[in-house]
Protein backbone atom coordinates (compact mmCIF):
# COMPACT_ATOMS: atom_id res chain seq x y z
CA UNK A 1 0.00 0.00 0.00
CA UNK A 2 1.39 3.43 -1.03
CA UNK A 3 0.50 6.06 1.56
CA UNK A 4 0.22 9.68 0.41
CA UNK A 5 -0.63 11.33 3.73
CA UNK A 6 0.22 10.68 7.35
CA UNK A 7 -1.53 11.43 10.63
CA UNK A 8 0.33 11.34 13.93
CA UNK A 9 -1.86 11.06 17.03
CA UNK A 10 -0.73 11.59 20.61
CA UNK A 11 -3.45 10.24 22.91
CA UNK A 12 -3.98 11.30 26.51
CA UNK A 13 -6.81 10.62 28.95
CA UNK A 14 -9.14 13.49 27.95
CA UNK A 15 -7.81 14.74 24.61
CA UNK A 16 -5.62 13.73 21.68
CA UNK A 17 -3.31 15.87 19.55
CA UNK A 18 -3.27 15.37 15.77
CA UNK A 19 -0.61 16.30 13.21
CA UNK A 20 -1.54 15.87 9.53
CA UNK A 21 0.97 16.07 6.66
CA UNK A 22 1.13 15.14 2.97
CA UNK A 23 4.01 13.04 1.65
CA UNK A 24 5.05 15.85 -0.73
CA UNK A 25 5.13 18.43 2.06
CA UNK A 26 5.98 16.36 5.12
CA UNK A 27 7.63 19.21 7.06
CA UNK A 28 4.62 21.53 6.87
CA UNK A 29 1.83 19.64 8.56
CA UNK A 30 -1.07 21.04 10.59
CA UNK A 31 -1.89 20.46 14.23
CA UNK A 32 -5.22 20.29 16.08
CA UNK A 33 -6.57 18.98 19.40
CA UNK A 34 -9.74 16.91 19.83
CA UNK A 35 -11.61 15.44 22.79
CA UNK A 36 -10.96 11.77 23.46
CA UNK A 37 -14.60 10.70 23.10
CA UNK A 38 -16.97 9.63 20.28
CA UNK A 39 -17.89 13.26 19.39
CA UNK A 40 -14.22 14.14 19.21
CA UNK A 41 -13.53 11.14 16.96
CA UNK A 42 -16.20 12.26 14.49
CA UNK A 43 -14.85 15.82 14.39
CA UNK A 44 -11.31 14.49 14.00
CA UNK A 45 -12.05 12.30 10.97
CA UNK A 46 -14.12 15.07 9.39
CA UNK A 47 -11.21 17.48 9.91
CA UNK A 48 -8.70 15.10 8.29
CA UNK A 49 -10.93 14.25 5.33
CA UNK A 50 -11.47 17.96 4.56
CA UNK A 51 -7.75 18.68 4.30
CA UNK A 52 -6.63 19.50 0.77
CA UNK A 53 -4.93 16.52 -0.87
CA UNK A 54 -5.85 14.04 1.86
CA UNK A 55 -7.53 10.82 0.74
CA UNK A 56 -8.54 8.61 3.67
CA UNK A 57 -7.92 5.43 1.65
CA UNK A 58 -4.25 6.36 1.17
CA UNK A 59 -3.74 7.84 4.65
CA UNK A 60 -1.79 6.13 7.41
CA UNK A 61 -2.96 6.94 10.94
CA UNK A 62 -0.35 6.28 13.60
CA UNK A 63 -0.79 6.41 17.37
CA UNK A 64 1.14 5.05 20.31
CA UNK A 65 -0.20 1.99 22.07
CA UNK A 66 -1.26 3.61 25.35
CA UNK A 67 -3.59 0.83 26.48
CA UNK A 68 -7.15 1.81 27.33
CA UNK A 69 -6.55 5.49 26.47
CA UNK A 70 -6.11 4.60 22.77
CA UNK A 71 -8.59 1.71 22.71
CA UNK A 72 -11.73 3.65 21.77
CA UNK A 73 -9.97 5.66 19.06
CA UNK A 74 -8.44 2.48 17.59
CA UNK A 75 -11.90 0.90 17.50
CA UNK A 76 -13.35 3.97 15.79
CA UNK A 77 -10.63 3.97 13.10
CA UNK A 78 -11.12 0.24 12.55
CA UNK A 79 -14.90 0.67 12.25
CA UNK A 80 -14.38 3.43 9.66
CA UNK A 81 -11.98 1.12 7.75
CA UNK A 82 -9.07 3.55 8.19
CA UNK A 83 -5.56 2.12 8.04
CA UNK A 84 -3.88 2.68 11.36
CA UNK A 85 -0.82 1.45 13.20
CA UNK A 86 -0.42 1.09 16.97
CA UNK A 87 3.23 1.94 17.52
CA UNK A 88 5.47 0.86 20.37
CA UNK A 89 6.10 4.02 22.47
CA UNK A 90 9.77 3.07 23.01
CA UNK A 91 10.34 2.65 19.27
CA UNK A 92 8.76 6.05 18.57
CA UNK A 93 10.82 7.66 21.33
CA UNK A 94 14.08 6.30 19.92
CA UNK A 95 13.23 7.48 16.41
CA UNK A 96 12.78 11.15 17.32
CA UNK A 97 16.48 12.06 17.46
CA UNK A 98 17.70 14.99 19.55
CA UNK A 99 14.59 16.85 20.72
CA UNK A 100 14.88 19.12 23.75
CA UNK A 101 11.25 20.23 24.02
CA UNK A 102 8.39 18.06 25.20
CA UNK A 103 4.68 18.66 24.58
CA UNK A 104 1.68 16.80 23.16
CA UNK A 105 1.86 18.95 20.02
CA UNK A 106 5.51 18.04 19.45
CA UNK A 107 4.82 14.37 20.23
CA UNK A 108 2.05 14.17 17.60
CA UNK A 109 4.48 15.55 15.01
CA UNK A 110 7.14 13.03 16.06
CA UNK A 111 4.63 10.17 15.69
CA UNK A 112 3.67 11.48 12.22
CA UNK A 113 7.35 11.60 11.22
CA UNK A 114 7.83 8.07 12.57
CA UNK A 115 4.94 6.82 10.40
CA UNK A 116 6.42 8.58 7.37
CA UNK A 117 9.92 7.18 7.88
CA UNK A 118 8.63 3.65 8.54
CA UNK A 119 5.91 3.71 5.87
CA UNK A 120 7.41 0.82 3.90
CA UNK A 121 7.87 -1.40 6.97
CA UNK A 122 4.79 -0.65 9.06
CA UNK A 123 2.10 -3.31 9.29
CA UNK A 124 -1.47 -2.07 9.49
CA UNK A 125 -2.92 -2.97 12.90
CA UNK A 126 -6.02 -5.08 13.30
CA UNK A 127 -8.46 -4.35 16.09
CA UNK A 128 -8.98 -7.42 18.29
CA UNK A 129 -12.41 -9.00 18.45
CA UNK A 130 -14.64 -7.79 21.27
CA UNK A 131 -14.68 -11.27 22.78
CA UNK A 132 -10.86 -11.20 23.03
CA UNK A 133 -11.06 -7.80 24.73
CA UNK A 134 -13.64 -9.08 27.21
CA UNK A 135 -11.52 -12.15 28.01
CA UNK A 136 -8.48 -9.86 28.41
CA UNK A 137 -10.26 -7.57 30.87
CA UNK A 138 -11.63 -10.49 32.89
CA UNK A 139 -8.20 -12.11 33.02
CA UNK A 140 -6.62 -8.80 34.10
CA UNK A 141 -9.11 -8.54 36.95
CA UNK A 142 -8.38 -12.14 37.94
CA UNK A 143 -4.66 -11.30 38.09
CA UNK A 144 -5.42 -8.35 40.39
CA UNK A 145 -7.53 -10.55 42.66
CA UNK A 146 -4.79 -13.19 42.85
CA UNK A 147 -2.28 -10.52 43.93
CA UNK A 148 -4.70 -9.25 46.60
CA UNK A 149 -5.29 -12.83 47.72
CA UNK A 150 -1.55 -13.44 48.10
CA UNK A 151 -1.13 -10.21 50.05
CA UNK A 152 -4.02 -11.10 52.35
CA UNK A 153 -2.56 -14.57 53.03
CA UNK A 154 0.80 -13.04 53.94
CA UNK A 155 -0.90 -10.57 56.27
CA UNK A 156 -2.85 -13.37 57.97
CA UNK A 157 0.37 -15.34 58.40
CA UNK A 158 1.99 -12.40 60.20
CA UNK A 159 -1.04 -12.04 62.50
CA UNK A 160 -0.89 -15.72 63.41
CA UNK A 161 2.74 -15.36 64.46
CA UNK A 162 1.82 -12.85 67.17
CA UNK A 163 -1.39 -14.44 68.51
CA UNK A 164 0.37 -15.48 71.73
CA UNK A 165 1.06 -11.81 72.52
CA UNK A 166 -2.03 -10.12 71.08
CA UNK A 167 -5.55 -11.34 70.46
CA UNK A 168 -5.86 -11.06 66.66
CA UNK A 169 -8.85 -13.39 66.37
CA UNK A 170 -11.20 -10.70 65.02
CA UNK A 171 -8.74 -9.50 62.36
CA UNK A 172 -7.93 -13.09 61.36
CA UNK A 173 -11.66 -13.83 61.06
CA UNK A 174 -12.09 -10.78 58.79
CA UNK A 175 -9.10 -11.92 56.71
CA UNK A 176 -10.71 -15.34 56.28
CA UNK A 177 -13.95 -13.69 55.14
CA UNK A 178 -12.08 -11.57 52.57
CA UNK A 179 -10.13 -14.60 51.34
CA UNK A 180 -13.35 -16.58 50.88
CA UNK A 181 -14.93 -13.68 48.99
CA UNK A 182 -11.88 -13.26 46.73
CA UNK A 183 -11.76 -17.01 46.07
CA UNK A 184 -15.42 -16.94 45.03
CA UNK A 185 -14.82 -14.00 42.68
CA UNK A 186 -11.85 -15.72 41.04
CA UNK A 187 -13.97 -18.81 40.38
CA UNK A 188 -16.76 -16.65 38.90
CA UNK A 189 -14.30 -14.94 36.55
CA UNK A 190 -12.77 -18.25 35.45
CA UNK A 191 -16.26 -19.62 34.75
CA UNK A 192 -17.13 -16.52 32.71
CA UNK A 193 -13.91 -16.84 30.67
CA UNK A 194 -14.74 -20.49 29.92
CA UNK A 195 -18.26 -19.49 28.81
CA UNK A 196 -16.89 -16.79 26.49
CA UNK A 197 -14.42 -19.18 24.88
CA UNK A 198 -17.16 -21.75 24.32
CA UNK A 199 -19.11 -19.10 22.39
CA UNK A 200 -16.28 -18.78 19.82
CA UNK A 201 -15.36 -22.03 18.06
CA UNK A 202 -11.99 -20.76 16.83
CA UNK A 203 -10.86 -19.59 20.26
CA UNK A 204 -12.11 -22.75 21.93
CA UNK A 205 -10.37 -24.95 19.36
CA UNK A 206 -7.00 -23.20 19.72
CA UNK A 207 -7.29 -23.22 23.50
CA UNK A 208 -8.02 -26.96 23.57
CA UNK A 209 -5.13 -27.65 21.17
CA UNK A 210 -2.69 -25.69 23.33
CA UNK A 211 -3.79 -27.53 26.46
CA UNK A 212 -2.82 -30.88 24.92
CA UNK A 213 0.84 -29.84 25.22
CA UNK A 214 2.51 -31.02 28.45
CA UNK A 215 3.42 -28.14 30.74
CA UNK A 216 0.84 -25.70 29.35
CA UNK A 217 -1.48 -24.62 32.14
CA UNK A 218 -4.80 -22.77 31.86
CA UNK A 219 -3.31 -19.33 32.53
CA UNK A 220 -0.58 -19.67 29.87
CA UNK A 221 -3.15 -20.88 27.34
CA UNK A 222 -5.54 -17.98 28.03
CA UNK A 223 -2.76 -15.36 28.00
CA UNK A 224 -1.42 -16.66 24.69
CA UNK A 225 -4.90 -16.47 23.16
CA UNK A 226 -5.12 -12.85 24.36
CA UNK A 227 -1.62 -11.65 23.38
CA UNK A 228 -1.69 -13.29 19.94
CA UNK A 229 -5.32 -12.21 19.33
CA UNK A 230 -6.14 -15.87 18.86
CA UNK A 231 -2.95 -16.46 16.82
CA UNK A 232 -3.71 -13.83 14.17
CA UNK A 233 -1.02 -11.20 14.87
CA UNK A 234 2.13 -13.38 15.09
CA UNK A 235 3.24 -15.37 12.04
CA UNK A 236 5.54 -17.80 13.86
CA UNK A 237 6.96 -18.79 17.22
CA UNK A 238 10.21 -16.89 16.66
CA UNK A 239 8.46 -13.50 16.56
CA UNK A 240 6.40 -14.38 19.61
CA UNK A 241 9.56 -15.49 21.43
CA UNK A 242 10.98 -12.03 20.76
CA UNK A 243 7.77 -10.43 22.03
CA UNK A 244 7.95 -12.23 25.37
CA UNK A 245 11.71 -11.88 25.85
CA UNK A 246 12.81 -15.42 25.03
CA UNK A 247 14.65 -14.92 21.72
CA UNK A 248 18.36 -14.05 22.30
CA UNK A 249 20.05 -11.19 20.44
CA UNK A 250 23.69 -10.47 19.72
CA UNK A 251 25.49 -8.02 22.01
CA UNK A 252 28.77 -6.88 20.44
CA UNK A 253 30.47 -3.76 19.07
CA UNK A 254 33.86 -3.45 17.36
CA UNK A 255 36.68 -5.23 19.14
CA UNK A 256 35.99 -4.02 22.68
CA UNK A 257 32.52 -5.44 23.34
CA UNK A 258 32.09 -9.17 22.83
CA UNK A 259 29.18 -10.07 25.05
CA UNK A 260 27.22 -13.28 24.75
CA UNK A 261 23.82 -13.28 23.13
CA UNK A 262 21.12 -12.24 25.56
CA UNK A 263 17.40 -11.65 25.73
CA UNK A 264 15.88 -8.17 25.74
CA UNK A 265 14.32 -6.52 28.80
CA UNK A 266 11.67 -5.00 26.49
CA UNK A 267 9.17 -7.83 26.59
CA UNK A 268 5.88 -9.10 27.99
CA UNK A 269 7.13 -10.14 31.43
CA UNK A 270 3.86 -11.76 32.46
CA UNK A 271 4.01 -14.29 29.62
CA UNK A 272 7.71 -14.86 30.26
CA UNK A 273 6.98 -15.65 33.92
CA UNK A 274 4.20 -18.07 32.95
CA UNK A 275 6.52 -19.84 30.51
CA UNK A 276 9.17 -20.12 33.22
CA UNK A 277 6.69 -21.70 35.63
CA UNK A 278 5.91 -24.33 32.97
CA UNK A 279 9.58 -25.28 32.55
CA UNK A 280 9.83 -27.21 35.85
CA UNK A 281 6.77 -29.26 34.91
CA UNK A 282 8.32 -30.09 31.54
CA UNK A 283 11.64 -31.10 33.09
CA UNK A 284 9.86 -33.41 35.54
CA UNK A 285 7.37 -35.03 33.18
CA UNK A 286 8.65 -34.77 29.59
CA UNK A 287 11.36 -37.37 28.97
CA UNK A 288 12.76 -35.55 25.94
CA UNK A 289 13.04 -32.25 27.82
CA UNK A 290 14.44 -34.05 30.88
CA UNK A 291 17.23 -35.63 28.78
CA UNK A 292 17.92 -32.30 27.07
CA UNK A 293 18.19 -30.56 30.45
CA UNK A 294 20.60 -33.23 31.74
CA UNK A 295 22.70 -33.11 28.57
CA UNK A 296 23.07 -29.33 28.69
CA UNK A 297 23.97 -29.48 32.39
CA UNK A 298 26.72 -31.98 31.66
CA UNK A 299 28.08 -29.66 28.97
CA UNK A 300 28.34 -26.90 31.57
CA UNK A 301 25.65 -24.65 30.10
CA UNK A 302 24.29 -21.92 32.35
CA UNK A 303 20.94 -22.71 33.97
CA UNK A 304 19.37 -19.54 32.55
CA UNK A 305 20.35 -20.53 28.98
CA UNK A 306 18.86 -24.02 29.44
CA UNK A 307 15.60 -22.63 30.85
CA UNK A 308 15.37 -20.06 28.05
CA UNK A 309 15.91 -22.77 25.39
CA UNK A 310 13.14 -24.87 26.94
CA UNK A 311 10.83 -21.83 26.92
CA UNK A 312 11.57 -21.37 23.20
CA UNK A 313 10.84 -25.07 22.55
CA UNK A 314 7.51 -24.73 24.32
CA UNK A 315 6.54 -21.66 22.25
CA UNK A 316 7.43 -23.47 19.02
CA UNK A 317 5.35 -26.48 20.07
CA UNK A 318 2.35 -24.24 20.76
CA UNK A 319 2.55 -22.48 17.39
CA UNK A 320 3.12 -25.78 15.55
CA UNK A 321 0.03 -27.36 17.14
CA UNK A 322 -2.16 -24.36 16.25
CA UNK A 323 -0.79 -24.26 12.68
CA UNK A 324 -1.46 -27.98 12.12
CA UNK A 325 -4.81 -27.85 13.86
CA UNK A 326 -4.14 -31.21 15.53
CA UNK A 327 -3.54 -32.17 19.19
CA UNK A 328 0.02 -32.58 20.41
CA UNK A 329 1.27 -36.17 20.60
CA UNK A 330 4.22 -36.58 22.95
CA UNK A 331 5.77 -40.03 22.83
CA UNK A 332 8.32 -38.99 25.48
CA UNK A 333 5.80 -37.97 28.13
CA UNK A 334 6.08 -40.08 31.32
All residues at 6 or more sequence positions from 323 whose CB lies less than 8 Å from its CB, including other chains: none
Q: Where are the domains of the chain?
A: 5-117, 130-199, 224-324
CA atoms in the 13 A half-sphere facing the CB of 310: 33
What is the rounded distance in angstroms from the CA atom of residue 98 to the CA atom of residue 114?
Answer: 14
pLDDT at 251 over 70: no
The secondary element (H helix, E strand) that includes residue 258 is: strand 257-262
Tally of CB atoms within 10 A around 249: 9
| pLDDT tens string 185-219 | 999 999 999 999 999 999 999 999 999 998 888 99
Tell me the per-residue pLDDT of 52-82, one tens digit each, with 9 for 90 and over.
Answer: 788 899 999 999 888 888 899 999 999 999 9
CA-CA distances (angstroms) from residue 110 to 11, 87, 100, 280?
Answer: 13, 12, 12, 45
pLDDT band at 51 (very low <50, low <70, confident <90, very high): confident
- Choose among 72, 70, 190: nearest CA to 141: 190
Segment 137-156, tens digit of pLDDT: 999 999 999 999 999 999 99
Task: Give residue 89's pLDDT band: very low, low, confident or very high (50, 70, 90).
Answer: confident
pLDDT of amino acid 293: 87
In sequence order, the β-bridge partners of residue 240 are: none
CATH homologous superfamily, domain 5-117: ATPase, nucleotide binding domain (3.30.420.40)
Is the full-model pTM beyond 0.85?
Answer: no
Q: How far apart are CA 310 and CA 92, in angstroms?
A: 32
48 pLDDT tier (thresholds 50, 70, 90): very high
- Give 235: exposed, middle or buried? Use CB within 10 Å, 0-12, 13-18, 19+: exposed
Q: What local confidence, expressed as pLDDT, does residue 260 receive?
A: 62
- How much is the average pLDDT of 86-93? 83
Residue 301 has pLDDT above 80, yes or no: yes
Amino acid sequence: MVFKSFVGIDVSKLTFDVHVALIDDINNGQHKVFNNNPKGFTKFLSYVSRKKGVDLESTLFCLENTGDYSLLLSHYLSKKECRYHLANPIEVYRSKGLVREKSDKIDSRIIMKYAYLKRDEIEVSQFPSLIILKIRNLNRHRTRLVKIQTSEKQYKKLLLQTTELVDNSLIISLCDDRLQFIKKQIKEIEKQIETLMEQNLSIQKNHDLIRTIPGVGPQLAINMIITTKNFTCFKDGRKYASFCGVAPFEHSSGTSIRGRKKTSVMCNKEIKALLTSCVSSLINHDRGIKLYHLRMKQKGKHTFIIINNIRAKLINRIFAVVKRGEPYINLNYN
